Structure 1
Amino acid sequence: MSSYSSAERRLRNIIDQGEAHAVRCGQIGLEKESLRVQADGAIAQSPHPRALGSALAHPYITTDYSEALLELITPPGDDSAKTLQFLCDTHRFVYSGLGDEFLWATSMPCMLGGEDSIPIAQYGSSNPGRMKHIYRRGLGYRYGRVMQVIAGVHFNFSMSEAFWPVRQALEGVTGSSVGFVSESYMGMLRNLQRLGWLVPYLFGASPAVCVSFFKGRETRLPKFDAYTHYEPYATSLRMGDIGYTNAKEGESGIKVCYDSLSSYIDSLECAIRTPYPKYEEIGVKVDGQYRQLNANILQIENEYYSSVRPKQVLENGERPALALKRRGVRYIELRSLDVNAYHPLGVSPEQMRFIEALLIFALFCDSPLVDADERRDIDANFLRVAHRGREPGLTLRRHAWEVDMRDWAEEILDAMGAFCELLDGGSSGVYCHALERQRAKVRDPEETPSARMLREMRERKESFHAFALRMSLEHRNFFLAQGLSEERRAFFEQLAETSLATQARLENETNLPLDDYIAAYFADR
């Protein structure tokens, strides 16, 4: 990667133009996944609670792979404190409809009884709802259901509209502003891949997993105790090779390309249109029932796993690749955050501030294209940190050389200092404090959440399941201790009613055969 001095130079130019405010007004949103679990800590078998609304049509409360895997979404806003407050209110409303169930506090799942214990999410009888279910059924056939119930936090971010004309003028780029914004975001994504290993090191909170995760399967992970597998220096097994990955990627020859927005779209489209023999063996429609949407390398764009994605708001059920092609990149999605087991919301204010600063920093750095050698290094660095991040003397690959991970991390944090000062409007605010907290973790791995988790498990003689159960119940008590205001409760109740009515309308309007609906979805180019 080019010297980080380029980022500081660009930042100084914007400050000199009197446009620092444009950097401070980015939009932030969160998507937080949590498993619903039974009183004994096993995955819930009950349907998505009707009191929460329709998982198909609710804008803020939905499900991911499993009927038991809740996904809570916040609207974008320019104040991370308000974003977290919205997420907190959403949790409180959810708990009002859970009865004896509660939300699991960690990324790695609760007790599982094998593949069949994981109910696939249901979205009703409309064509959009049935298609969402079939896609998830296909994921189960392709990768197994167990890895699909690993939870995470997605951080959505965009710069303010006022920022882009300033940046484009300073860069001396003429032409389409949409094209400039999109390619700038693609450069940001390449840099986030280069720097991405820092996120699991600092915030990884999945160094251990319940033995039930591997029921019926072999694992190379050592035993922590009779009920837990772990790795001694792991930070984020979720981001390692036991987590959700496109395992057939090397065999199929498809690697999504981040050189430009058009190359990204083209490589995704290729994967969606290219048959894959092993998925053809599964079958698409067998005995009149869909097993998957198609037998191609990817069923749809979202099947491609990556730590970061370019995103555009979808209109009228369009495919993500088409939305990007038509309107460019609207925001980016960072997907590598584990659920923070030590915070009821799964993400802390300190994390929010640091991640925001890191993303802005990545946007300001030079971003050359990623060649095949660097791609291998990026992937290898992620795995090293996920499985061995706290290992003394750990090295990573940078510019084809092995470098000390902590030296590299210190260099990044040093370069981020000016960005945190700008966001604070000085040198002693909350962003600078968040930066220093991360510096402490780099200098002492015992300060990381992954180390803290394993330390507590040893001291308390807890299995992973016992640790996660304890934290989950603490978080439940936090949300139940203070209810929602009448105004906020009415807000969420109205959303729930409206979403159920929307689903009912979609089901009543369904007149196109499902086969034709799916064909039309993929025919739209």
Structure 2
Amino acid sequence: MDLPDISEKLLLLKKFPNVLFGLRRGIERETLRITPDGEISHSSHPRGLGKSLTHPWITTDFAESLLEFITPAHHDIKYILKFLRDLHRFTLKNLDDELIWPMSMPCFLRDESNINLARYGISNLAKFKMLYRVGLKNRYGSSMQVISGIHYNFSFSLNFWKLLLSSQDERNRLEKVSDGYFRIIRNYYKFGWVIPYLFGASPCILRSFIKEDIFSMKCGKEDTYYLPYATSLRLSDIGYTGKCQNKIEIEINGLQDYIRSIKKALNKPHPKFVNLGLKDKLGKPLQLNTNVLQIEDELYSTIRPKRSIVPGESYIDSILEKGIEYLEIRSLDINPFTAIGIHEKQIFFLDLFLIWCALAESPFMNTKDLYLCKNNWKEVVLHGRKPGHRILVNNISTSIKEIGNDLFDEFTKIADVLTHVFCSKKYKVVCNELRLMFDNPELTYSGKMMNLMVNDGMLKYGLDLARMYQKELKKEHFEIISDRDFEKMRKFSIRRQKEIEESDQISFERYLKNKMKQYFV
């Protein structure tokens, strides 16, 4: 099929290759703490790790047992991977006999009541975070919230955007950069299904996770349920994209429209959540509000425009005033074939793909266009490895194999440029290796996972991996972060949480009222 012509912009990159040195990447990896027999841990966040509210590297997400490791943004791929590995090494040394679950879909869940919500202390900020999670639990159920993934943060340098977006147009520079990122976002929705096709690693789930088998899945060993050609059930309707989320209409043609659509969802009551109410019969809070979204974090999109904000600053106000700083890629499953959940080759691919998304023209999308794109994602996550399976691109029915090979023709052109820029053949090697997955879907992560888990059972396979990675990581020495650094950060998190708690001057009710004002239209 015909893809956007990037030849002119590639010539620019060849002429000014230094603009690519400014690529910055950061990783957030979620993972469940589990017992030695494969159940979700009921214990509190380990004291040796510090305070989850204020630790910049090791925190918790929805549940007390759902760890989240966060690397700083950095231009060096090896640095962020070593940093992430150090976080794993340190954590496992503080878990006693507990393990970390090496997959996206949860371990054995005896009952949702066994999932303890994350606790952050007694400050107003802590209570707000906890009430938000109470709302998620009551809206969607706890089991969905302990699905794990990789959030991959990516940005280009300002020099890159100056080169790419040079024109006679004298609009505000930050607005132009934001427009550039929205071009990436539109291309991502159109072609980003390639990520779960290649790297989706959740074709199976355990029976204990299923509330309703909406897909008529097959049953394998040890109550392992699966779809034969699925790539990422995490991204399906039994994962993060439920009915309530599917109906949210988000504009992706520009920053003003995007924020306007977010605000609409933040202010529009949802019948289901109105019926749930704000408090139960005993007066116990059930959610932050009854709107479609409690806060912007509740939008479970596969990609988000982001920027760093200071404590107390509104995301909406900040991004409107200062523009988009980076993109958060949210479609990566945990990679079970590596101890830290993500492999170097995946980062090389994401570089290629996101550079292509920035170079390739992308017309504005209306609601129908976005719906068709999301439907392609749905087809890939449920049936992506099915021989001859087709999706609709530019209103043309095209086989996944055909469009995949066409895309890799384009990625190879970018790999040629990056080979000269970084004096490394790794981009071309990865490009050639991944292309083979379109000719042989069994080489994809989900293809390999299917063969392994249907034969052994998901729980046994996951536990074997967890034990292996525990032994592997505990034996290793730190490479980037020292023992002294970890202890310094642990003490900082304790001290900072205490400062936050002591600084509260108003009641939580007043704090909550002030906090929610920032979301009103």
- TM-score, normalising length from structure 1? 0.95
Specify the alignment match of 1:27 in structure 2.
24
Of 202, 206, 216, the match for 2:202? 206
| Identical aligned residues as a percent | 33
Q: Is the 2:24–2:155 contact (alpha carbons within 8 Å) kept by the matching residues of 1?
A: yes
CA–CA distance in 2 between the matches of 1:275 and 1:515? 21
* 2:66 is equivalent to residue 76 of structure 1: no
* 2:164 is equivalent to residue 167 of structure 1: yes
Change beyond 3 A, Cα 1:127–1:237: same
Pick which of 155-164 and 418-427 moved more. 418-427
Amino acid paired to 2:111 = G
Amino acid paired to 1:4 = P
| Cα deviations by residue, 1:250-280 (Å, 9 ceiling, x for unpaired) | 6xx5311101111110000111111122111
Pick which of 272-281 and 187-196 moved more. 272-281
* 2:253 is equivalent to residue 254 of structure 1: no
1:44 counterpart SS class: coil
Specify the alignment match of 2:396 in structure 1.
401
CA–CA distance in 1 between the matches of 2:240 and 2:211? 17
Q: How many residues end up aligned between the 2 structures?
A: 517
Q: Is the 2:13–2:417 contact (alpha carbons within 8 Å) kept by the matching residues of 1?
A: no
Superposed displacement of residue 282, structure 1: 1.4
* 2:220 is equivalent to residue 242 of structure 1: no
Superposed displacement of residue 312, structure 1: 0.9
Superposed displacement of residue 402, structure 1: 1.1
CA–CA distance in 1 between the matches of 2:498 and 2:212? 40
| Cα deviations by residue, 1:53-76 (Å, 9 ceiling, x for unpaired) | 111111111111111110101000
* 2:345 is equivalent to residue 350 of structure 1: yes
Specify the alignment match of 2:447 in structure 1.
451
Superposed displacement of residue 227, structure 1: 1.3
| Cα deviations by residue, 1:66-116 (Å, 9 ceiling, x for unpaired) | 111101010000011111010011111111211110110000110001210
Specify the alignment match of 1:85 in structure 2.
82
1:297 counterpart SS class: coil
* 2:511 is equivalent to residue 517 of structure 1: yes
Q: Is the 2:64–2:116 contact (alpha carbons within 8 Å) kept by the matching residues of 1?
A: yes
CA–CA distance in 1 between the matches of 2:236 and 2:146? 15
Specify the alignment match of 1:424 in structure 2.
419
Unaligned runs of 5+ in 1: none
Superposed displacement of residue 457, structure 1: 3.1
Q: Is the 1:156–1:334 contact (alpha carbons within 8 Å) kept by the matching residues of 2?
A: yes
Q: Is the 1:152–1:339 contact (alpha carbons within 8 Å) kept by the matching residues of 2?
A: yes
1:437 counterpart SS class: helix
Superposed displacement of residue 137, structure 1: 0.8
Alignment of 1:336-485 (within 5 A): 336-425=331-420, 429-458=425-454, 461-484=455-478
2:28 counterpart SS class: strand
CA–CA distance in 2 between the matches of 1:332 and 1:486? 25
CA–CA distance in 2 between the matches of 1:406 and 1:505? 56
Q: Is the 1:374–1:400 contact (alpha carbons within 8 Å) kept by the matching residues of 2?
A: no
CA–CA distance in 1 between the matches of 2:169 and 2:439? 41
CA–CA distance in 2 between the matches of 1:523 and 1:400? 43
Superposed displacement of residue 138, structure 1: 0.3
2:165 counterpart SS class: helix
1:173 counterpart SS class: coil
Amino acid paired to 1:476 = Q
CA–CA distance in 2 between the matches of 1:403 and 1:152? 29
CA–CA distance in 1 between the matches of 2:242 and 2:299? 7
Of 53, 57, 68, the match for 1:56? 53
CA–CA distance in 2 between the matches of 1:495 and 1:423? 36
Specify the alignment match of 1:491 in structure 2.
485
CA–CA distance in 2 between the matches of 1:428 and 1:60? 30
CA–CA distance in 2 between the matches of 1:106 and 1:296? 32
1:162 counterpart SS class: helix
Superposed displacement of residue 446, structure 1: 1.1
* 2:269 is equivalent to residue 272 of structure 1: no
Q: Is the 1:374–1:399 contact (alpha carbons within 8 Å) kept by the matching residues of 2?
A: no
Q: Is the 2:222–2:458 contact (alpha carbons within 8 Å) kept by the matching residues of 1?
A: no
Amino acid paired to 2:4 = Y
CA–CA distance in 1 between the matches of 2:197 and 2:364? 25
Specify the alignment match of 2:306 in structure 1.
311
CA–CA distance in 2 between the matches of 1:35 and 1:390? 28
CA–CA distance in 2 between the matches of 1:247 and 1:331? 28
Specify the alignment match of 1:102 in structure 2.
99
2:328 counterpart SS class: strand
1:309 counterpart SS class: strand
CA–CA distance in 1 between the matches of 2:452 and 2:141? 31
Unaligned runs of 5+ in 2: none
- TM-score, normalising length from structure 2? 0.96
Amino acid paired to 1:87 = L
| Cα deviations by residue, 1:139-194 (Å, 9 ceiling, x for unpaired) | 1111111111110001100001322222232x443221101101110111111111
Q: Is the 1:37–1:44 contact (alpha carbons within 8 Å) kept by the matching residues of 2?
A: yes
Change beyond 3 A, Cα 1:314–1:368: same
1:285 counterpart SS class: coil
Where has structure 1 moved over 4 Å in runs of 4 or more?
215-219
Q: Is the 1:246–1:304 contact (alpha carbons within 8 Å) kept by the matching residues of 2?
A: no
Specify the alignment match of 2:39 in structure 1.
42
Superposed displacement of residue 497, structure 1: 0.9
Specify the alignment match of 2:151 in structure 1.
154
Amino acid paired to 1:444 = N
* 2:317 is equivalent to residue 322 of structure 1: yes
2:220 counterpart SS class: strand
1:290 counterpart SS class: coil
Amino acid paired to 1:355 = L
Pick which of 284-293 and 181-190 moved more. 284-293
Change beyond 3 A, Cα 1:442–1:485: closer
Pick which of 286-295 and 488-497 moved more. 286-295
Q: Is the 1:33–1:69 contact (alpha carbons within 8 Å) kept by the matching residues of 2?
A: yes
Amino acid paired to 1:419 = I
1:66 counterpart SS class: coil
